[in-house]
Structure 1
Amino acid sequence: MRIDPASDRSMLDTLRARASGSARRGPWLKLLSDVLTLAGPQAELLRHGERPWSSATFSGSRHSIALSFAGERAVDAGEALIASLPDHEFAIPGHLVADATITGVDHENGPEPRMTVEAELLLLEEG
């Protein structure tokens, strides 16, 4: 998802506005909001995907998130995300983040460094 930088709305505001009309918001919006907050304001959301997940005793969903960080300060924020995401305590009502893993990191050096971070999170329903 690309957000118009000229807009006065933040990425999170845009996501909330798009989801407000959705009949089935689910916990994905809170999860994505928390990850974007953890990543910092210089992170750009490239994509988010959700698929159902279940085992013999649990059910939930697996979320794939890709973020881009452009510029030295943004790349530093991306490195901080990589370090903090696996141990971050999420507060999502009725759900538990059972696993948060960085699945890929791609660095591009150049006049403006760029980094892409891919993460996968397992969200279980409590109850």
Structure 2
Amino acid sequence: MWLDLFLPATPIERKSEAAGTPHPRVRISPGERLLRAVVALAGPHAELMQHSEAPWASVTFAGTRHTIVLHFQGWEACDAAEELMAALPEHEFTIPRTLVADAAVVRLEQSLLPEPEMTMELALLLLDDA
């Protein structure tokens, strides 16, 4: 009890300790960078449905194969999907230490009623540039 008179009830804040602790760096993988680039290229109307990544290798190259499924709903979204289909094969992705060797639309489902919608599956091959 006697010590309670001298010790504060709340813990003492030490600002030097909080300022000195470094924040951990989060490294974004090439696959995550690719996904972000594809979603940005698809535009704000695209809804990401699925993304999968699998290792890939040949005799001379190594990398990953990515499958991305996007859903577009509405007239504006379907217009954006058509623009993505036209731009994707020739688009220059800028992903550090990685080359996008192949990018293609491998599946397309579309319906017009009751509202136009498209579901697009993309296949992309990333090669390690090391």
Residue in 1 that maps onto 2:40: 37
Q: 1:24: how far off?
A: 7.5
Residue in 1 that maps onto 2:100: 97
1:49-87 Cα shifts (integer Å, max 9, x gaps): 000000000000000000000000000000000010011
Q: Does 1:51 align with 2:40?
A: no
The counterpart of 1:81, out of the listed 79, 84, 87, is 84
Q: Does 1:123 align with 2:129?
A: no
CA distance in 2, matches of 1:36, 1:115: 15
Secondary structure of 1:56's match? Answer: coil
The counterpart of 2:65, out of the listed 62, 65, 84, is 62
CA distance in 1, matches of 2:71, 2:111: 11
CA distance in 2, matches of 1:24, 1:47: 22
- Aligned-residue sequence identity (percent) comes to 51
Query: Counterpart of 2:50 in structure 1: which amino acid?
Result: R
Question: How many residues were matched structurally?
Answer: 106
CA distance in 1, matches of 2:96, 2:29: 10
CA distance in 2, matches of 1:38, 1:26: 18
| Structure 2 spans left out of the alignment, 5+ residues | 1-23
Which contiguous aligned blocks of 4+ residues in structure 1 show a shift greater than 6 angstroms?
none
Secondary structure of 1:93's match? Answer: coil
| Structure 1 spans left out of the alignment, 5+ residues | 1-20
CA distance in 2, matches of 1:52, 1:25: 17
TM-score, normalised with respect to structure 2: 0.78
Secondary structure of 2:120's match? Answer: strand
CA distance in 1, matches of 2:74, 2:115: 5
